[in-house]
Amino acid sequence: MSVFSHPEFDNHEQLSFFCDEETGLKAIIAIHNTNRGPALGGCRMWNYASDEEALRDVLRLSKGMTYKSALANLDLGGGKSVIIGDPRKHKSEDLLAAMGRFLERTGNQYIAAEDSGTSVPDLQVMNRFTDNVAGVTERTGIDGLPCNGDPSPATAYGTFIGLKTAVQYKLDRKDLSGLKVAIQGVGNVGYRLAEHLHAAGAELFVTDIHEEQVQRAVTELGATAVSQNEILSLDVDVIAPCALGAVLNDDSIPLIKAKVVAGASNNQLASQRHDLMLRERGILYAPDYVLNAGGIIDVFYERVGHEHTKVRAHVETIADTLTEIFGRADVQDRPTGEIANELAEERFMK
């Protein structure tokens, strides 16, 4: 498995591979950049088709966290970890404990948080063996209600704020009533985003690999269930990718009828050139790592002193960042993702 010549390797500071024969744990931790502070990023557990796919994911995700923290004006760097395995079949307390011990070996360079396939209780198991975890402290959430540490509500709220900003910019609509939104993935974040949109009067179309989550959205939010194959090609106003990455690619982009892409998933672009491809088709792309920064903002404040009103106000600055990106992109006639990357690099490169 090539590392230094890997197409997703971006001068990462550290890449660690861990294996525990007794529990079956196979994990990778990637630290991309620590110029602004310790690397913070989710611990994802996924049934990857291959080790190569897991490596590609952790390299891309860790880099994205560096850019996300920088654009969110946080004193954090970027990192990520992945556990290879089906979280519904292979996860065990012993496996999570082993992961906690491995996290401790990284020193204070990487801090893990919740991600796809992991939960607050999972991180709490790891926390028994290391302090290098975040999002595990009970506190008041951004909605003023008790929160067990799960950053998903903040991620979903930030995504909602960003989606509204993109809709106003591209479609000149402040009112979301009747807005047609296709949500790809209604897990922890996607479902909460759907709740915000439903409350605002939007018409929802949803899909997910887990049928029970789709049915929940249909029953509770009046959403329309659609197949995974058709979700991106629906005749809607907005597409909100909220599952795994690389869904915006050579095959999917020509099928998109929506004028706005604004969702919570990381690394939505299969490659950087797809940023330009979206712009050339007149589709406004809200860069994913700008939109979904609410979770890391929430976790950051947990470590420095949490006050939910400050967290909410900070999350809402996502709207200002996006407006600046959209404006620069139009003035310079360049893709929005390219502009976002430049802004982030100005903040974390020495």
Binding site residues for NAD(+), as ranges?
185-190
130 Cβ neighbours under 8 A, 6+ residues apart: 100, 101, 103, 104
Record the tokens describing residue 240, joined without a space.
Answer: 């909100």
Cα–Cα distance measured from residue 74 to residue 293, given in angstroms and rounded to the nearest whole number: 10
Straight-line distance from the first to the last Cα atom of the chain, in angstroms, rounded to the nearest whole number:
30
Q: What are phi and psi of 86, to 5 degrees?
A: -80, 115
Cα separation values, 200 from 59, 181, 223, 234, Å: 36, 12, 14, 21
Which residues fall in the annotated binding site? 185-190
* Given the residues 80, 91, 164, 170, the one annotated as active site: 80
Q: CA Rg, the chain, in Å?
A: 19
| Strand locations in 39-133 (E) | 39-46, 77-84, 110-113
Judge whether 80 counts as a catalytic residue.
yes
Cα–Cα distance measured from residue 110 to residue 107, given in angstroms and rounded to the nearest whole number: 7
Please state whether 267 falls in left (phi above 0), alpha (psi between -120 and 50) or beta.
left
In this structure, how many other beta carbons lie within 10 angstroms of the beta carbon of residue 37?
A: 16
Catalytic residues: 80
